Amino acid sequence: MTTNGVHLETVPHWIGGASVGYTGATKSEIVDPATGHTLRTVELGGADVVDEAVASARSAAEAWASTPTPVRATILLAFRALLLEHTEELTSIITAEQGKTLADARGEVARSVEAVEVATSAVQQLKGEFAEQVSRGVDTYSFRQPLGVCAGITPFNFPVMVPVSMFAAAIACGNAFVLKPSEKVPSASVRLAQLFAEAGLPNGVFNIVHGGVDAVNALISHPDVSAISFVGSTPVAREIYRRSAEAGKKVQALGGANNHLVVMPDADLDAAADALVSAAYGAAGQRCMAVTVAVAVGDIADQLVAKTARRAEDFRTGPGNADGSDMGPLISETAIERVRGALDAAADQGGTVVVDGRKNSTEAAGHFIGPSLVDHVRTDSDLYKDEIFGPVLSVVRVDDLEEALRVVNASPYGNGASIFTASGVAGRRFAHNVRAGSVGINVPIPVPISWFGFGGWGDSRFGDEGLNYDAYRFYTKAKVITQRWTEPRQGVAPNFVAAGSQ
Ligand code: NAD
């Protein structure tokens, strides 16, 4: 494809350990959100490409499943070392296609390294249980085995971390994997595949098919795919969960979110305001764990809004690769329109726009919009109910912790929720009663270290197993063995004998 006479590179699929491209394939443009310019194109695969990738995975799956777990872990360790070595390269790919700041992208790569570290401990994760003498001469034991071919479908906001958290765990468990990355940010995944191959991963164990809905449909209906991992928006997650389950597959589908941060009257308000702007506007609000609602408890609301507003006004919007940018652009013009529409409606539905990011949309061609803060947001307003996925923070005012919990728990989503307080009693009560998968106490974005599971409640996750530490159960199935060995007659053996001769 050419744009303005310039020939654009095309991001290839990755099948059987090599880049694969097809002449005449439909392509989609990858746009740098900071400039609006097309960087390159990506092939959009359909059922035929998915068939090829799944066949490649299937042909590699058996040998990979038989490869001893510590040998698999050694390859993952080599992959980890390459991720560290290529951190800056991966960081700049993320920033160019997704738009987040280089510092934030670097953090994403660091979190991916952590996910690989957890995957290298597969020997420990896959250990089963043993019960001796459950009947006379009978023992029962269990272990876990891989599923075969697993597939992952990932969103645009974490081009490296979400794919890695899926495929590192699945592959460590002895599965082969087919990844369908977001067509908006596809380049990083191909670089990951090259690095994994360099680390010694056998051909076919990891494959990538680029594309959109057609590729997803082909994966979830493919008879040789045993499990589907999905991360994206709630409507798509719900549908993928339903259809994959109907097709008899294991499925985990993580969806969208609206995360609350409750600020108690005894909290350090400066720390809370710092946390609010970081968690609401970092990555331009395009994180599933971004804070979208500040719940101000008691009489501190005016002070909290004033402190947060000052910080929001100082938050610098600019290209992700520019020094001094606190947040980059949104992924697309459509996303900008969604934020504008939400702010337009907010005022009509009772909200007070205290900081208006629309005034800050200065970069001509890029998808920039500044941070917004809206006070007195009603819980029946569209701004409160919809997932805006942009740099907009709503403030809801309540009288006490009980009312705060009622507000948080009435949300259909349950990805993350936090409280800022000086009281251990309030913190514990919040942690015990709040309906959310990840909970923070004086921590604004409580994404747990990968040694714990990750996944929300309610409409934020369909399926009962999450990512990271939970993934080992998802990517394996248990087998329970009950055995009886009758003792062979030993006969008379009065002397020492050589080892192994009996
Ligand atoms: P999205 O749902 O639009 O797309 C996700 C993936 O699904 C992409 O690969 C896309 O190609 C594919 N897809 C899109 N529409 C589809 C359809 N109709 N049928 C089948 N496949 C389809 O999400 P996005 O805009 O890329 O990512 C942002 C969303 O992801 C937000 O809602 C965010 O909260 C969510 N997210 C959730 C988590 C989590 O852990 N819960 C993590 C990251 C992002």
Residue 288 annotated in active site: yes
Residue 362 CB partners (closer than 8 Å, separation 6+): 317, 368
155 lines ligand 1 (CB under 6 A): yes
Q: Give the C-alpha separation, 294 to 292, whole Å.
A: 7
14 lines ligand 1 (CB under 6 A): no
Residue 315 CB partners (closer than 8 Å, separation 6+): 277, 281, 326, 327, 370, 371
Q: Give the C-alpha separation, 442 to 428, whole Å.
A: 12
Ligand 1 centroid from CA 334, angstroms = 15
339-383 residue pLDDT tens:
999 999 998 999 999 999 998 655 558 999 999 999 999 999 999
Residue with tokens 């510092």: 103
232 lines ligand 1 (CB under 6 A): yes
**Which residue has a Cα nearest atom 30 of ligand 1?**
232
Ligand 1 centroid from CA 200, angstroms = 31
**Is 457 in contact with 469 (CB distance < 8 Å)?**
no
Q: Which residues pair with 263 in a beta bridge?
A: 296, 420
H, E, C per residue of 56-117 = HHHHHHHHHHHCCHHHHHHHHHHHHHHHHHCHHHHHHHHHHHHCCCHHHHHHHHHHHHHHHH
335 lines ligand 1 (CB under 6 A): no
Residue 43 corresponds to which tokens in the numbers above? 């092939």
104-132 residue pLDDT tens:
999 999 999 999 999 999 999 899 999 99
Ligand 1 centroid from CA 45, angstroms = 18
CA-based torsion, 235, 455, 423, 426: positive or negative? positive
C-alpha R_g of the chain: 25
Task: Determine which one of 82, 115, 251, 288 is catalytic.
Answer: 288
439-479 residue pLDDT tens:
999 999 999 999 999 999 999 999 989 999 999 999 999 99
SS3 502: coil
288 lines ligand 1 (CB under 6 A): yes
231 lines ligand 1 (CB under 6 A): yes
Q: How far is CA 82 from CA 76, 85, 181, in A?
A: 10, 5, 21
Please say if the pLDDT value at position 5 is more than 80.
no
Q: Give the C-alpha separation, 76 to 116, whole Å.
A: 7
Length of the chain: 502
Count of CB atoms situated within 10 Å of the CB of 383:
25
Residue 317 DSSP label: B
CA-based torsion, 198, 204, 209, 213: positive or negative? negative
Ligand 1 centroid from CA 163, angstroms = 12
Ligand 1 centroid from CA 106, angstroms = 22
Please say if the pLDDT value at position 195 is more than 50.
yes
98 lines ligand 1 (CB under 6 A): no
Which of 6-10, 167-171, 241-245, 461-465 has the lowest average pLDDT? 6-10
Residue 358 DSSP label: G
Residue 348, CB half-sphere, CA atoms under 13 Å: how many? 7
149-163 residue pLDDT tens:
999 999 999 999 999
Percent above pLDDT 70 for the chain: 96
**Which residue has a Cα nearest atom 42 of ligand 1?**
288
Which of 28, 94, 178, 182 best tests ligand 1's pocket when mutated (most atoms within 8 Å of CB)? 182
Ligand 1 centroid from CA 69, angstroms = 32
182 lines ligand 1 (CB under 6 A): yes
User: Interior CA angle at 209 toward 248 and 93, to 5°?
Assistant: 130
Q: In terms of pTM, does the model score above 0.85? A: yes
Beta strands in 337-475 (DSSP E): 352-355, 372-375, 392-398, 413-414, 416-420, 438-441, 453-454, 457-458, 461-462, 467-468
Residue 437 corresponds to which tokens in the numbers above? 């998968």
- pLDDT of the residue at 475: 98
